Structures are given as structure tokens and as C-alpha cells.
Amino acid sequence: MQIIIWENMRLTKKSSSFKKYPPSSFMYRVRKWRIIETFIAFVAGGVAAVEFVYHIIFHYYHFPRYTVDITIIAIMIAMLCTLAWRWFRGEREEGTEEPKTEPISFPEWKNSIVVLPFENISSEESQDYFCDGMTEEIITDLSSIHDLRVISRSSAMMLKGSKKAVRDIAKELNVQYILEGSVRKAENDIRITAQLIEATSDAHLWAEKYSVKLDDVFDIQEKVSRSIVDALKLKLSPEEVRGIAEHAIDNAQAYEWYIRARQEFWKYTEDSLNRCLQYLKNGETIVGDNALLLAGIGFVYFQFYDSGIRLETEYIQNAESYGKKALHLNSDSPHAHRLLGLVQLKKTGSTEAYGYIKKAHQLDPNDPDTLLWLGYILSLIKGRISESEPYVRKLLSIDPLIPANQSAVAGWHLAQGELEQSLSHFRKWYHMEPDSSVGRWHLAVNLALNQKQEESISLIEQTDKDIPGGPMNTFGLILKCAIKGEKESIKELLTDEITQMAWNDFHLPWFMAQCFALLNQKSRALDWLEQAVEQGWTNYPLFSTYDPFLENIRGEPRFKKLMKRVKYEWENFEV
């Protein structure tokens, strides 16, 4: 089961002087809002003021004796008011229900663009897949240009059918240019129009119409991308020129099957995944072994297993097999590397997975899924906050409209014990995508972490009504039992299938350790926590200090021994 742990945030290195206290504790707030320092300053200043009044005003000018008393009372009132102001101002700034987040600041980009989904003006609505494929390929071409910030496919597709004005879209995405167009397809005949718009002035910098056959579609994609480069006066390196000219599938019919498959893949249902698998194999029948098609087939098998639709081990084995075949054909395939990284998350843990996913990022620095996984592994699993920052920052820069990407920011805050800030982003995910069972589960967990148990239970119960069944719903009910101390009910929920699924997952062993720690079943909590460490979790600050659910097992000898290993691996992990 895929647990995505991932616009706004402030990603800056912060002082850790108050982080030795649990974030929900009294002393955490006292240190964070400098209550002690303020008190000391008033005492020191007050003593000086009283000395001045007593020795100068009272004795030299012969003021009444009660002048000293008035001075002391005034200082005390001022001190109490200041302390109260700092305390409650801090509470407002942190937020309770939905803490406010500060906008993340991105570097100024000389050129930035969003490619809006090409409009289907064919007589058949079923040709939408072809228009989307055209959009995606142009995005892929432009993303290979280093000096151009390109909004990702996933965020661009969120604007499909949007009636927003060009300026509003540009402002929302922080881009200068917008490419829009349309496609009319009738069998093998294709007519394409495209125009490049400068958003602030609404000026058309370039426009063109093309009438071609299906076999020439690759040439048109390349021409559109090159026209944009020329219009923006960009200078391309030889590698960037090759990136625009290269096509992972050079057969038009096989390519058409591939883009049909991609449209089905994003639906994430059993039927759509079956169709996706069939379409990819149709393409493979035409061109034979192809790294992109093989990796695509592997991703389908992985998604079957990861979503809980098919938990048979043969599905994860098939995913790995196809990933290796793709890598054998093309050692520089970022898709194959990312697929094998996700497989390793399931099989051996995050340390092995990190190497594959890092390589995928080197080969394709603009893939949002790769950025999300790098940010998740480095921040939440490995506890390497500063190293994860660039990946989270770039993810939000190129893929800002995807709800689940809020979890990247949330995980970054959670990894360093900033529970309230983490909760605010999980709330945002929920408000952007209320029907996501994964988003609801993460929100329920983080409500409980922030001592909002009643709200957490209410959300779990509502989810059980709205989205019954499924593994995420089951894990939500497990959390509810842990909060309420219902040990027998948890036994009923922990079937062999759910237990195996959690034990082999890359995130759930930590969650199960939290639940058993809440139930004060210390031995079982430590069993699961040890499994989390075996899966690569080495976030020493999170386990040793920040996670409030683990508080009652921190005094256990097994926990202390385990933390010695975790601390060593945390300090020596090579990024």
C-alpha cells in the first residue's frame, strides 16, 4: 500500500534550543516563546528602575514614599502583560485548528511556463487521451531545459477544462508564459494549433498551425518545443538539444497505446489498471522490448500490490522483474530506476531504495514523483532535514496543485517535531482532496499526535461511513482502538493479511509501534519499532524525542539499545 508522506512553508534552518522538550509540553512553549528570557529581562530592568527611583527620585527630590510602591506595581503589571502577550501571540502564530503557513520563497526564474492541456476539438470525445499525450510530451521536452521552470504534468492536468483567465493561472502558478492549443484527430489525420502567451501583457509571442499524419506526430512535438525555445531566446546545450529530439517510443501506433495506457493508469482502479496493462502489452507487441513500456508494465504490477488490490507476492516480483528488464535495455532510464527504488521500499527498505531513487533524480531532475520520494525518505525516514529541503522546495515549485504534495511539507515539519505545522498541511491536503482515504488517514494520525483525539476518532468514524472497506480504513480503525484503549478490538482488525501487509510496508511498522505504545503493550510496540528500523528508519530525533506516542516506551532497555543503533546510522547515513 502506497503511503505518500507528502504550498506553503518556510524551509529554513531553525534553532534547536527548545526541541529537547516534547512539542506538546509546557516547557516546549516556554522555551519557544522566550518566556524565561523575558521574565529575567524584566527582573533585571525592574531592579535597576527601583534603585533609580529609590536613590534619586525619593531621596534627592523628596517624592512621597509610595512612589517606590507604584513603580514596583507598574513594573509587575507590565511584565505580566508582556508575558501574556508573548504566550498568546505565539499560540495564534502556531495556530490551533489550522495554523497559518508562510509562503515559500522560490528563486527568481527568468523563464517559467505552464503547458495547458490541449483542447480536444475532434468529433470523438474518446480522443482526449491523444490530446493529453501531446501535452505530456511537450512538457517532457521542455522539462529537459535547465533554464526553464516547467509546471509538471500532474499540476497542468488539474487545469483541464478550466475557464480561468490566463493572468489568473499565471499568478496561481507563478509563471511568466502559458502555452495553449488544440488537437483535431480523425483516424490518421491530425490538425494541431498552438500559441505561446506572455501572461502579464496577454501578448501572443508565437502561434502556429500544423496539419500532419499520425506518423509525423513526433516531428510536430519537437517543432513546438523548439519554437518555444526560439521565442524565449533560450540557448540550449547539446544535451538539451538531444533531450528534445529523443523519443522513448519511435513508433506512432505503439506510442498511441502508451498514451492510452497512461490515461488509465492515473485512475488507480482495478479495471483501469487491467486496461493499462493490456494497452502497454499491445504497444510491446508492435515494437518489441522497449525500456519505457517495460517500466510502465512494472509500475502497473507495483500499483496493483501497493494499492492493496493484489497482495500476492508475484505482483511485486513481476514489478521488479520488469524494472530490471527495462534497466538492462537502458541503464539511463529514470523510470526503471524509480520503479526499482519503490520495489526496494517494499522488499528491503529505504536505504536500498534511496540509491535507485537518487539515480532516477540525477537522470530526470524534474520528475515530481521522484522529488516527493526523495523528500520523504530524507526527511521523515532518515531525519536529514536540511538535505531534504531542496527536493521539497522544487516539488512545490513545479507541482503545486497536487493535494498529496502537501504531505511533503507536512512530513518535513513532522520529522523535526513541529507537530502543529505538520497538521496544518495535512488539513490542507484533506480540504483539497476530501475523498482521499490516504489523506484522511494521515490527518487522523496527526490530529491524535496533536492531542486532538476526539476529532481524530470522529474523522475515522466518518471515513468508515464514507469510504467503507479497504486497507486504509482498517488502519484508521486500528488507530481508533489504540486511542480508546480497546485491545480486544485491535485483535479482530489485525488479520493475518493486514499484519503481513503492515509488517512488510516501509511506513506502517512505525505506525503500528505508535498504536501498541498507546495501548501500553510495550513489547509489541518495540517489535514493530525494530521492524521499522530494519526497514531503514533512522530518524533518531523523531524516535528519541519528538513522537509523543512513543513516550511510554523510551525508558525500556530495548528501546535504549535500539536508539544507539538508530543514532549511529542517523549520523553516518551518506546522502
Assign 96 a pLDDT band (cuts: 50, 70, 90).
Answer: very low
Q: Please report the DSSP string for 322-356 in residue order.
A: HHHHHHHH-TT-HHHHHHHHHHHHHHT-HHHHHHH
Spell out the residues 6+ positions from residue 14 whose beta carbon is closer than 8 angstroms to its own: 416
How many CB atoms lie under 10 A from the CB of residue 52? 12
Residues 374 and 515 in one domain: yes
pLDDT score at 93:
42
Q: Is the same domain home to 293 and 428? A: yes
**Pairing assessment for the beta strands 177-186 and 203-213 based on DSSP bridges:** unpaired
517 and 446, same structural domain? yes
State the SS3 of 407-456.
HHHHHHHHCCCCHHHHHHHHHHHHHHCCCCHHHHHHHHHHHHHCCCHHHH
Residue 236 has pLDDT above 60, yes or no: yes
What does the DSSP 8-state code read for residue 145?
-
Q: What share of the chain is helix, strand, coil (3-state, %, to 5)?
A: 65, 5, 30
150: closest CA among 178, 122, 171?
178
- Choice between 161 and 475, residue whose per-residue pLDDT is larger: 475
Of 428, 386, 380, residue with least CA distance to 404: 428
**Whole-number Cα distances in Å, 226 to 220, 240, 245, 291:** 10, 11, 10, 26
- Return phi, psi of residue 544, to 5°: -80, -20
Asked if residue 324 and residue 232 are part of one domain, the reply reads no
Domain end marker among 247, 277, 308: 247
Q: How many alpha carbons fall within 13 Å on the CB side of residue 91?
A: 8
372 and 310 assigned to the same domain = yes
Do 38 and 88 fall within a single domain? yes
Residue 123 phi/psi, 5-degree rounding, is -70, -20
d(CA 190, CA 76): 81
Q: Residue 506 above 90 pLDDT? A: no
Which residues make beta-bridge pairs with 213? 189
**Is 502 a residue whose pLDDT tops 80?**
yes
For residues 266 and 230, membership in a common domain is answered with no
Query: Looking up cell 480497546, which residue turns up?
Result: 486
Positive or negative: CA dihedral 473, 478, 479, 484: positive
Contact present, 259 and 133 (Cβ < 8 Å)? yes
In this structure, what C-alpha cell is assigned to residue 518? 498507546
The Cα 122–Cα 176 span in angstroms is 30
Lowest mean pLDDT among 68-82, 120-134, 482-496, 515-529: 68-82
- Give me the CATH number covering residue 339: 1.25.40.10
Q: Tell me what pLDDT residue 441 has.
A: 95
Q: CB neighbours (10 Å) of residue 527?
A: 16
Q: How far apart are CA 386 and CA 11, in angstroms?
A: 9
Does 522 lie in the same domain as 419? Answer: yes
> What pLDDT is stored for residue 561 in this prediction?
97
Cell (9 digits) for 206: 508565437
Which secondary structure element, helix H or strand E, spans residue 213, and what is its range? strand 203-213
Is 243 a member of any domain? Answer: yes
Cα radius of gyration (the chain): 28
Tell whether 342 and 428 lie within a shared domain.
yes
> What local confidence, expressed as pLDDT, does residue 278 receive?
96
Res 82 pLDDT > 80: no
Spatial distance between the Cα atoms of 421 and 201, rounded to a whole number of angstroms? 38
* Nearest 10 degrees: Cα torsion 7, 13, 16, 21: 10
In a domain, 535, yes or no: yes
111, 151, 364 from 147: Cα distances, Å: 7, 13, 14
CA 357 from chain centre, in angstroms, equals 15
In this predicted structure, what is the pLDDT of residue 49? 66
E strands present in 342-417: none
What is the rounded CA–CA span in Å between residue 186 and residue 188?
A: 6
- What is the crossing angle of helices 252-265 and 291-306, to 10°? 20
In the predicted model, is pLDDT for residue 33 greater than 70?
no
Mean pLDDT of the chain: 84
What mean pLDDT is predicted for residues 212-216? 79
Write down the pLDDT at residue 437.
86
Strands (E), 66-186: 112-115, 119-120, 149-150, 177-186
* 219 and 155 assigned to the same domain: yes
- Let me know: does 544 contact 416? Beta carbons within 8 Å: no
Q: What is the pLDDT of residue 524?
A: 97
Domain identity same for 154 and 265 = no
Number of Cβ atoms within 10 Å of the Cβ of 264: 21
pLDDT classification of 66: cutoffs 50, 70, 90: low
In a domain, 104, yes or no: no
Kindly indicate the confidence band of residue 537, based on its pLDDT and cuts at 50, 70 and 90.
very high
Please state, in angstroms and rounded to a whole number, the distance separating the CA atoms of residues 5 and 20. Answer: 24
Same-domain check for residues 404 and 495: yes
Q: What phi and psi values does residue 373 have, to the nearest 5 degrees?
A: -70, -35
- CA dihedral 359→360→364→365, nearest 10 degrees, is -70
Domain count, the chain: 3
Please indicate, yes or no, if residue 228 is contained in any of the structural domains: yes
Task: Tell me if 270 sits within 8 A of 470, measured CB to CB.
Answer: no
> Span 502-527, mean pLDDT?
95
Q: Which helix (H) or strand (E) holds 204?
A: strand 203-213
pLDDT tens-place string over residues 4-31: 333 333 333 333 344 444 444 555 555 5
- Domain for residue 8, yes or no? no
Is residue 9, in this structure, part of any structural domain at all?
no
Closest CA to 117 of 104, 130, 107: 130
H or E element at residue 192: strand 189-198
In a domain, 474, yes or no: yes
User: Per-residue pLDDT averaged across 206-216, rounded?
Assistant: 84
User: Could you tell me if residue 419 is inside a domain?
Assistant: yes
Cα–Cα distance list, 15 to 18, 19, 32, 60 (Å): 8, 8, 10, 47
Question: pLDDT tens-digit profile of 412-456?
Answer: 999 999 999 999 999 999 999 898 888 999 999 999 999 999 999
132: pLDDT strictly greater than 90: no
At 326, the pLDDT band (50, 70, 90 cuts) reads: very high
pLDDT at position 51: 66
Going by pLDDT thresholds of 50, 70 and 90, the confidence category of residue 282 is very high
CATH of the domain at 117: 3.40.50.10070
pLDDT in tens, 375-408: 999 999 999 999 999 999 999 999 999 888 999 9
Element (H, E) at 187: none
Grid cell in block for residue 130: 491523444
Write out the residue range of the structural domain in which residue 150 sits. Answer: 112-247
Pick the last residue of a domain from 44, 64, 94.
94
Helices (H), 232-349: 238-245, 252-265, 270-287, 291-306, 313-329, 334-347
Instruction: Kindly state the average pLDDT of the residues 214-230.
Output: 85
